[in-house]
Structure 1
Amino acid sequence: MTSDAGEKAMLEVEDLTVTFRATASTVVQDMTFRIDKGATLGLVGESGSGKSMTALATMGLLPPGAEPAGSVRFWGEELLGLPDRAMRRIRGDRIAMVFQDPLSSLNPYYTVGFQIAEAYLAHRGGNRRQAMRLAAEAMDQVRIPDAGRRVHHYPHQFSGGMRQRVMIAMALVCEPDLLVCDEPTTALDVTVQAQILRLLADVQETTGAGMLFITHDLAVVSQVADSVVVMRHGRAVEQGTAEQIFSRPAEEYTRQLLDATPRLDDDVDLPEPIREAR
């Protein structure tokens, strides 16, 4: 989904650079992209290419010693340099993040409903009874069966796929404009992965949220993204619409990534006994 040229972007990143003072190393260099309302941008590349650092800079969550430069505007408001208190009002409320490993992100000592409710109370206030009701509604929205009962369960009582749904519910409870998804399906098997991708697409269709989807897996991003930025060594080596990137890649590095992506119609090099049995 794209907007008219004169329409304000939901998220506009311009010349974003991230440098670590101690080592004088630059891990993100001159990143520029935009995400419009309801659109998904896929940020792809190998491990260490700078994808997650780009996302953390966008969220104001860079580790100590990392210095961002450039511009990150959300609905026209500059986020870089925003005081921590002001950034906390935006982060988790209007911009929410879904992390790769829900088991390490969820606190094992509290019920999932309590944790979703806490996310709501931190930004919207109100009373706990109301927040727990909204937590159950958010869990129902991400299709967790029997959400009214399971809101009182602990993280270890959920499968990996269901825990990821809990994390998405936590991100959605404040109805954010933008979801930042950092490798949200990497730890899941392909069947559950497909369910989560379908769920995210349905959530976008229902809510109109924009999405920054970070992954090393081009097969995944091909299913969700309207536009794609390919990163290598902290830089964007190619960007364009998903159709352009997957059908007519301009850069050799992008072609190599595509060639390394498994396809359903690829020939499989089977061991000799299995080949003969066929």
Structure 2
Amino acid sequence: MSGATSEPLLRVEELTVTFDGPRGDVDVVRELSFALEPGGSLGIVGESGSGKSMTSLAVLGLLPAGARRTGRISLSGRELTALTERQLRRVRGDRVAMVFQDPLSSLNPYYTVGAQIAEAYRAHRQRATRREARRVAVEAMERVHIDDAARRVDHYPHQFSGGMRQRVMIAMALCTEPDLLIADEPTTALDVTVQAQILRLLTEVRAETGAGLVLITHDLAVVSEMTDEVLVMRQGECVERATAERLFSDPRHPYTRALLDAVPRLDDEVGELRSVDEGGAR
């Protein structure tokens, strides 16, 4: 007897995103296809302008004005591209949540972080009381290791550091227990130590919740540690897709090799320092 095959958590087929340009249509994403299994993790890498972030916005139906999307996108077998905007809003933030790269612009400075997390929760749990939503907000902040969450839930975004604001955004994304988490450059503008903390937190969250993860980044070192598979994009197209292990041990596409060659290596830096020291000692 043949075994049943599980439906991918996320399936993207022939996705194309087109903008109206002064000289005609411009495809910023071109015929992109990939799938993510339940609980899996996929890294999408490439330089700025390669189409990484536009892909994530297309999945969520959040493309800017003037953009057109063709192709098919499904979540656990449900066709997202066939949904109305109202239906899609029910999916966003509930089944699929996104962590953007700039938490300061994503958070409203006029409301406490607790009020914003609670609002995100009540938007998808309409029978929830204010007291329940506040409790969920505190628990979500505790989950992402924000100390003294019961007090800090009443603080405003400007009272948090950049790393803590990103933790708030992750807490907001997690409050509805989504099946899929999309993180778009989640450590941009954070120092190296805080970057490592946020990435460890995302790994911890995946282990606890079983959520699938799409991690969008230009940092190959990050995807090597965080994801099972890697999709390399260039000029709107996928030029290579492989397991993280294979991609880093045996990159096939010249662009992938160029990206890997651009990653600083500790042994190279040590060699350069030794050369400087020897030159100075002469």
Task: Calculate the TM-score normalised by the size of structure 2.
Answer: 0.93
Aligned to 1:6: 5
Shift of 1:48: 0.1
1:207-229 Cα deviation digits (max 9, x unpaired): 00001100011111111010000
* Map of 2:197 onto structure 1: 195
Structure 2 counterpart of 1:95, which letter?
V
Letter in structure 2 aligned against 1:101:
D
CA deviation vs aligned residue, 1:28-77 (integer Å, no higher than 9, x gap): 01111111111110000000000011000000101111111111010001
2:267 match: secondary structure: coil
Q: Which amino acid aligns with 2:197?
A: Q
Q: Distance in 1 between matches of 2:266 and 2:255?
A: 22
**1:67-99 Cα distance to aligned partner (Å, 9 max, x none):** 111110100011113100000000011100000
Pick from 202, 207, 210 the counterpart of residue 208 of structure 1.
210
* 1:245-268 Cα deviation digits (max 9, x unpaired): 111100110000000011222235
- Matching residue of 1:44: 45
Q: In the alignment, what sits opposite 1:112?
A: 113
After TM superposition, give the deviation of residue 274 of structure 1 in Å. 9.6
CA distance in 1, matches of 2:103, 2:4: 38
Match of 2:96 in 1: 95
Structure 2, unaligned runs of 5 or more: none
Distance of 1:12 and 1:80 partners within structure 2: 11
How many aligned positions are there? 274
Give distance in 2, aligned partners of 1:267 and 1:204.
33
Quick one: structure 1 residues 171 and 263, their matched pair in 2 at CA, closer, same or farther if it must change by over 3 Å? same
Deviations 1:173-204 (A, max 9, x none): 00000001000012111111111111000100
How far is 1:11 from its partner? 0.2
Indicate the SS of the match to 2:239: strand
C-alpha separation between the residues in 1 aligned to 2:183 and 2:217? 9
Which residues of 2 match residues 112-131 of structure 1 at below 5 A? 112-125=113-126, 126-131=128-133
CA–CA distance in structure 2, aligned partners of residues 194 and 265 of structure 1: 21
Task: Return the offset for 1:7.
Answer: 1.1
The 3 A distance-change label for structure 1 pair 275 and 192 is farther
Q: Which residue of the partner structure matches residue 64 of structure 1?
A: 65
The separation in 1 between residues aligned to 2:262 and 2:4, in whole angstroms, is: 35
Change in Cα spacing, 1:274 to 1:100, as seen in structure 2 (3 Å) is farther
Offset at residue 273 of structure 1 (A): 7.1
Q: Given the two structures, how large is their TM-score scaled by the length of structure 1?
A: 0.95
- Mapping of 1:258-269 within 5 angstroms? 258-268=260-270, 269=272
d(CA) in 1 for partners of 2:165 and 2:152? Answer: 11
- Assess, with a 3 A threshold, how the Cα gap between structure 1 residues 131 and 249 changes in structure 2: closer, same or farther: same
Residues 146-185 of structure 1: pairs in structure 2 closer than 5 A: 146-185=148-187
Q: Aligned-residue CA RMSD in angstroms?
A: 1.6
Matched residues, percent identical? Answer: 64
Identify which of 141, 144, 147 aligns with 2:143. 141
> What residue number does 1:30 align with?
31
Q: What is the distance in 1 between the residues matched to 2:277 and 2:148?
A: 47
Return the letter of the residue paired with 1:211: L
Query: Which is greater in Rg?
Result: 2
Secondary structure of 2:266's counterpart equals: coil
What SS class does the counterpart of residue 197 from structure 2 fall into?
helix
Q: What is the aligned partner in structure 1 of residue 247 from structure 2?
A: 245
Matched AA of 1:72? I
CA distance in 2, matches of 1:85, 1:165: 28
**Equivalent residue letter for 1:92:** G
In structure 1, C-alpha distance between the alignment counterparts of 2:30 and 2:219, rounded to whole Å: 22
64-73 or 203-212, which deviates more: 64-73
Residue segments in structure 1 that go unaligned for 5+ positions in a row: none
Q: Distance in 2 between matches of 1:117 and 1:222?
A: 34
Instruction: Look up the SS of the partner of 1:21 in the other structure.
Output: strand
